[in-house]
Structure 1
């Protein structure tokens, strides 16, 4: 595992231009949780990562639900909650709660509880819930490890891009998540499940750089900078720990732990192995793409599809059931 890479320097410069000196200074706090909070607790955060690209989101939908216009939330409810009402959902690491708001507006849920350490995001979510007239949501600014865990209380537990931020995944799933679900309750994840700390193997870094070369130079200028993205080295271990100590701390343990402690109802791979790093900081060029940019994006999709034929997906949508 490299402790320092060339990506660390380009990342530091990009973050300075995108989020300012105060953000970089926040990374020198001794408090690990404070560094994690600073990474996310910004309602006005602007970034250029792969998830902002509409065509990428449609690709996710296609790979998860079979329909580019059908997101996973209504698909999950159609597949697993048909005819059920009065349900309780617990979302851990909920952030701005965009997915939880969708669930709360459905007839299935009487209660949706959102938990996160990012208080600013929860306040924004609470304001949105009030605007929508939703009275079935609760927002808790809390450390998951300090929570009260009522046994058998919830019908669904949701992790959307949050489970990979928790350490000791095996014990969390076995000792906390499983007991809080009622018998027959469902665990729903939409998650990064790849290598810990984003320490990708050389074969993957090579494939990412080959994919990057498929993008014309005009679409490789980094967000809010004049720097051209030339290659990817992957993040160094020091930067990962300094920037956010929780990032992918035990992500490789997620799928094995879920398979040991739950019945697998459904798992869908949607890649990210090449796209996540190839598009990082240049995704803004593809939000409303010109024809040439759209063609480059399609070449990236084809390249990732070929890579996934011989490698496990870094991102998974999964539904798991607790049995007695």
Structure 2
């Protein structure tokens, strides 16, 4: 599975206008949910502001991130003065190369160490001040063990950050979610002439297609909240919303400009879903 997932992520190109994270409005909406500040359009900028607010003046001298991709979020934490050094685990060589190139351009290459191998099979000794999960925990094949590891490698007083997807496994939307999303598309996008595609209900074929495309995509996302409760006593999750961001971001954002009312209406509908208890994304900071 690891080899197939690595091959997939070596091919992934998230440049351009591909999904909700490509939209400044969507990023601002997400970041504001995390830290309460508007107009923050950088990726995971809300996480950094939240850490700075919750731990004023603190520098997490040694941090670790699993599934870091090109490490843009981790490099930003270093650049902001929040992290001293990051150990980075990533299975896709293309993304490792991208991260190292970016670090070199920022003058931060000596403050990151890329590691490989089975991170969860290594010795579990307390060595990190920060364990950072930012939309990567849901890619783990065993989220229970990943969180057990996270706690075991944390120094006394260390912090675990979880900013992640906790929706349906394998991105297989529920019938209610599909119906709600299609109703929104008909009302907001189709009537404005946006050539959106109608969503189809999940089934065994869509599950298999997702697995073949990326076997690391959300195999146990639905178990994250319960696993965290088992391993991180007293952890408090804050639902971020994101049901429509996640389901419709890749459908709507590539087809419309940033000033399109469809994006505004998508975010308004996402906010309404959150009030109804529907959230695909969640956030927590836990201290040992």
TM range (shorter): 0.7 to 0.9
C-alpha spacing 1:266/1:238, structure 2 compared with 1 (3 Å): same
How many Å separate the matches in 2 of 1:287 and 1:318?
32
How many corresponding residue pairs? Answer: 279
Structure 1 residue 271: Cα displacement: 1.6
CA deviations on 1:100-148 (whole Å, 9 max, x unpaired) are: 00111233432111111011111111111111111211122444345x3
Structure 1 residue 242: Cα displacement: 1.0
Match in the other structure for 1:215: 188
Structure 1 residue 62: Cα displacement: 1.5
- Long gaps (5+) in structure 1: 1-31, 222-227
How many Å separate the matches in 2 of 1:162 and 1:209?
28
- From 159, 166, 182, the equivalent of 2:155 is 182
1:298 has 2:264 as partner: yes
How many Å separate the matches in 2 of 1:246 and 1:164?
8
Q: Report which of the two structures shows the higher radius of gyration computed on alpha carbons.
A: 1
Matches within 5 A, 1:75-90: 75-85=49-59, 87-90=61-64
C-alpha spacing 1:178/1:302, structure 2 compared with 1 (3 Å): same
How many Å separate the matches in 1 of 2:78 and 2:187?
41
How many Å separate the matches in 2 of 1:86 and 1:300?
37
SS at match of 1:214: helix
SS at match of 1:241: helix
Structure 1 residue 252: Cα displacement: 0.9
Match in the other structure for 1:268: 238
Match in the other structure for 2:282: 316
- Long gaps (5+) in structure 2: none
Match in the other structure for 1:36: 5
1:57 has 2:27 as partner: yes
Matches within 5 A, 1:4-43: 32-42=1-11
C-alpha spacing 1:106/1:51, structure 2 compared with 1 (3 Å): closer
How many Å separate the matches in 2 of 1:204 and 1:82?
39
Asked whether the 8 Å contact 1:116–1:142 carries over to 2, the reply is no
- Taking CA–CA contacts closer than 8 Å with sequence separation of 6 or more, which of the two structures ends up with the larger relative contact order? 1
How many Å separate the matches in 2 of 1:219 and 1:130?
45
Match in the other structure for 2:115: 140
How many Å separate the matches in 2 of 1:162 and 1:318?
14
C-alpha spacing 1:45/1:314, structure 2 compared with 1 (3 Å): closer
CA deviations on 1:138-160 (whole Å, 9 max, x unpaired) are: 122444345x3451100100111
SS at match of 1:139: strand
- From 156, 160, 171, the equivalent of 1:198 is 171
Q: Normalized against structure 1, the TM-score is what?
A: 0.78
Asked whether the 8 Å contact 1:159–1:189 carries over to 2, the reply is yes
Match in the other structure for 1:3: none
- From 72, 76, 88, the equivalent of 1:98 is 72
Q: Normalized against structure 2, the TM-score is what?
A: 0.87
C-alpha spacing 1:219/1:37, structure 2 compared with 1 (3 Å): farther
C-alpha spacing 1:108/1:57, structure 2 compared with 1 (3 Å): closer
How many Å separate the matches in 2 of 1:230 and 1:43?
24
Moved more, 196-205 or 95-104: 196-205
C-alpha spacing 1:108/1:61, structure 2 compared with 1 (3 Å): closer
CA deviations on 1:3-48 (whole Å, 9 max, x unpaired) are: xxxxxxxxxxxxxxxxxxxxxxxxxxxxx22321232224755462
C-alpha spacing 1:57/1:74, structure 2 compared with 1 (3 Å): same
How many Å separate the matches in 2 of 1:254 and 1:136?
30
Match in the other structure for 2:199: 231
- From 131, 155, 172, the equivalent of 2:105 is 131
Tell me the C-alpha RMSD between the 2 structures: 2.2
